[in-house]
């Protein structure tokens, strides 16, 4: 980890330490107890199951998203070498600085820190909205990071900077040279973007969230850390994780409401469900 990234990571850790619920008296920390931990563990287990099954879900259309992501990754794979060469010819000091910042913004450790800080801030401010947002960001980041790690080791693709070519694969090497596919920076960034966009009604926030995630992906290609196809699949994995978390919360928040309706010579009941 580079020095600037280390400083940023330590800053985030300090923020979490100062504002996390564990640093407050127990009486001032509602809902932060072993019951909450158990509930969150069960929720993550359920989400993990959904993450594994959703890509193959024919009934609810999950399979179509899988086919689209696979197709887009295949197309990017065809042009991996060309994209790498074109970006190498377009290097500049300005882009070097911008993409370095993009990689820092996309750091998965930073995302986990942000999730913890948002959750801790929500508890301190007694804001259920931000407390839940922090939990959702954390869940999405954990799912994205864990699933990407498994895929990285199983595929074992060489990073472009090793100059071994796009077709060099050595599974389960557990080294940075052969963990290119997919991009964890990108998957984590898109998981965060999916949650932020899904919980906001502001179009500006939605656009900014995904634009940031896209720039993180571009930065990883530009810095020769990933092939374009690594980034495409990383984006798909991250988006999937974000949607799994959002849908699990929707199911948890499902409510059925029965409302009486008065009509001439009749009494009716309206049954509505909110999801």
Q: pLDDT by residue (tens digit) across 88-97?
A: 999 999 999 9
Instruction: Give the model confidence (pLDDT) of 219-251 as tens digits.
Output: 999 999 999 999 999 999 999 999 999 999 888
Average pLDDT over residues 187-211: 96
* Whole-number Å distance between alpha carbons of 216 and 185: 7
Residue 31's nearest CA partner among 142, 124, 141 is 124
The fold for domain 3-274 equals: Vanadium-containing Chloroperoxidase; domain 1 (1.20.144)
The answer to which of 3-7, 122-126, 159-163, 186-190 has the lowest mean pLDDT is: 3-7
Nearest to 224 by CA among 271, 187, 192, 176: 176
Confidence of residue 113 (pLDDT cuts 50, 70, 90): very high
> In this structure, what DSSP letter does residue 175 have?
S
Burial level of 149, CB count in 10 A (0-12/13-18/19+)? middle
Q: Are 95 and 222 in contact (CB under 8 A)?
A: yes
Q: Which residue has the higher pLDDT, 27 or 135?
A: 135
The full DSSP string for 90-110 is T--HHHHHHHHHHHHHT-HHH
Residue 153 pLDDT > 70, yes or no?
Answer: yes
Contact between residue 23 and residue 17 where contact means Cβ atoms under 8 Å apart: yes
Q: Mean pLDDT in the chain?
A: 85
CB atoms closer than 10 angstroms to residue 202: 11
Residue scoring higher pLDDT (110 or 255): 110
CA separation for the pair 195, 215 (Å, rounded): 17
Structure tokens at 158: 């060489």
Length of the chain: 275
263 pLDDT band, cuts 50/70/90, is low
Q: How far is CA 85 from the centre of its chain?
A: 29
pLDDT higher than threshold 50 for residue 167: yes
pLDDT in tens, 245-261: 999 988 876 443 444 45
């Amino acid at each position: 980890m580079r020095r600037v990234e280390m400083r940023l990571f330590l800053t985030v850790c300090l923020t979490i330490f100062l504002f996390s619920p564990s640093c407050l008296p127990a009486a001032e920390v509602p809902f932060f107890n072993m019951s909450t931990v158990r509930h969150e563990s069960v929720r993550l287990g359920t989400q993990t199951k959904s993450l594994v099954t959703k890509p193959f879900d024919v009934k609810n259309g999950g399979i179509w998203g899988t086919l689209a992501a696979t197709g887009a990754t295949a197309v990017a794979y065809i042009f991996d070498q060309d994209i790498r060469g074109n970006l190498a010819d377009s290097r500049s000091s300005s882009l070097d600085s911008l993409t370095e910042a993009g990689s820092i913004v996309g750091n998965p450790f930073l995302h986990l820190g942000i999730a913890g800080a948002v959750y801790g801030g929500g508890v301190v401010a007694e804001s259920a909205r931000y407390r839940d947002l922090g939990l959702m960001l954390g869940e999405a980041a954990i799912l994205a990071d864990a699933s990407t790690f498994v895929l990285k080791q199983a595929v074992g693709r060489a990073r472009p900077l090793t100059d071994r070519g796009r077709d060099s694969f050595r599974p389960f090497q557990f080294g940075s040279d052969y963990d290119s596919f997919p991009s964890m920076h990108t998957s984590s960034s898109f998981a965060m973007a999916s949650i932020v966009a899904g919980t906001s009604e502001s179009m500006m926030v939605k656009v900014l969230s995904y634009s940031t995630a896209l720039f993180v992906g571009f930065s990883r290609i530009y810095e020769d850390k990933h092939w374009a196809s690594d980034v495409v699949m990383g984006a798909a994995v991250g988006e999937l994780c974000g949607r799994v978390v959002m849908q699990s919360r929707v199911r948890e928040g499902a409510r059925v409401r029965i409302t009486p309706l008065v009509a001439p010579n009749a009494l009716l009941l309206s049954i509505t469900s909110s999801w």
